[in-house]
């Protein structure tokens, strides 16, 4: 059978995967809804992507995870599941409403004791962690303002050890990464930020990286994944 409208169907396949693999965690999906009801944008990772983040934390054996961009705490919750009871997630967010919704959601999901939300511009929060001599993180998920991806990558390196895994969200953006950034008007700096982040991953002697395109509930997008050498 010839398949048309791959994008619509890939969203249906995500629904199927959620069912057949039993991916949804009721407390986390309730938090997603609570965030939407509070007016937060619907840009959190999909359920399957959230489970992917949990698995990455588990596979790397991460006990310390750093996240840049909390929103309503949906990806944060999956990462918090991944680090286990004795692990810790530090997540950076500069919108007070987002941080407070995230704190409520984490509380209701029973995960708040493993998560610390740093309120403020993420660059400053990462600089503070470096200045305070924070122990290295084993997994770092970068998912905030894409224009600052290179800054976040450079700061993330300083908070890493050999073997730390870096994951960047939204590196494809429906193919926008191919375009001249100037075509994207207000998002020009973000498109450029994604492109510069990818070139940084190529050029940095301290990482080995790839990127994977994804389709599904969030349309056509992708993750970059790197290992700190």
Interaction site with ligand DHB (CB under 6 A): 43, 143, 169-170
For ligand DHB, give the closer residue by CB, 167 or 226.
Answer: 167
Comparing CA positions, the residue from 201, 67, 199 lying closest to residue 144 is 67
In SS3 terms, 31-54 reads as: HHHHHHHCCCCCCCCCHHHHHHHH
CB of 144 to Mg ion, least distance (A): 8
Q: From ligand DHB, Mg ion, ligand SAH, none, which one binds at residue 122 (CB under 5 to 8 Å depending on kind)? A: ligand SAH
Q: From ligand DHB, Mg ion, ligand SAH, none, which one binds at residue 113 (CB under 5 to 8 Å depending on kind)? A: none
173 binds ligand SAH (CB under 6 A): no
75 binds ligand SAH (CB under 6 A): yes
Contacts of residue 161, defined as CB under 8 A and 6 or more positions apart, other chains included, come to 136, 138, 228
Q: From ligand SAH, Mg ion, ligand DHB, none, which one binds at residue 92 (CB under 5 to 8 Å depending on kind)? A: ligand SAH
Angle formed by the axes of helices 188-203 and 149-158, to 10°? 40
Contacts of residue 19, defined as CB under 8 A and 6 or more positions apart, other chains included, come to none
122 binds ligand SAH (CB under 6 A): yes
106 binds ligand SAH (CB under 6 A): no
Distance linking the first and last C-alpha atoms of the chain: 46
Stretch that binds ligand SAH, among 7-15, 42-50, 187-195, 204-212 (CB under 6 A): 42-50
62, 80, 93, 159: residue in contact with ligand SAH (rule CB under 6 A): 93
For ligand DHB, give the closer residue by CB, 69 or 82.
Answer: 69
CB of 173 to ligand DHB, least distance (A): 8
Stretch that binds ligand SAH, among 10-18, 91-99, 106-114, 126-134 (CB under 6 A): 91-99
- What is d(CA 229, CA 214) in angstroms, rounded to the nearest whole number? 26
56, 62, 89, 94: residue in contact with ligand SAH (rule CB under 6 A): 94
Residues binding ligand SAH (CB under 6 A): 43-45, 69-71, 74-75, 92-95, 98, 121-122, 143-145
């Amino acid at each position: 059978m010839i398949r048309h409208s791959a994008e619509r169907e890939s969203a249906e396949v995500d629904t199927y995967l959620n069912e057949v693999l039993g991916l949804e965690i009721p407390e986390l999906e309730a938090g997603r809804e609570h965030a939407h009801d509070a007016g937060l944008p619907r840009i959190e990772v999909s359920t399957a992507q959230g489970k992917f983040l949990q698995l990455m934390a588990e596979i790397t054996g991460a006990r310390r995870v750093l996240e840049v961009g909390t929103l309503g705490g949906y990806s944060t919750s999956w990462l918090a599941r991944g680090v286990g009871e004795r692990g810790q997630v530090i997540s950076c967010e500069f919108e007070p409403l987002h941080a407070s919704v995230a704190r409520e959601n984490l509380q209701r999901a029973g995960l708040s004791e493993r998560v610390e939300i740093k309120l403020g511009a993420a660059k400053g929060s990462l600089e503070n962690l470096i200045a305070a001599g924070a122990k290295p993180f084993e997994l770092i998920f970068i998912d905030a303002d894409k224009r600052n991806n290179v800054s976040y990558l450079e700061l993330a390196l300083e908070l890493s050890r050999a073997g730390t895994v870096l994951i960047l969200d939204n590196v494809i953006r429906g193919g926008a990464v191919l375009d001249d950034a100037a075509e994207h008007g207000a998002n020009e700096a973000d498109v450029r930020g994604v492109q510069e982040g990818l070139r940084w991953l190529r050029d940095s002697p301290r990482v080995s990286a790839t990127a994977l395109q994804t389709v599904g509930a969030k349309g056509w997008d992708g993750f970059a994944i790197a290992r700190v050498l």
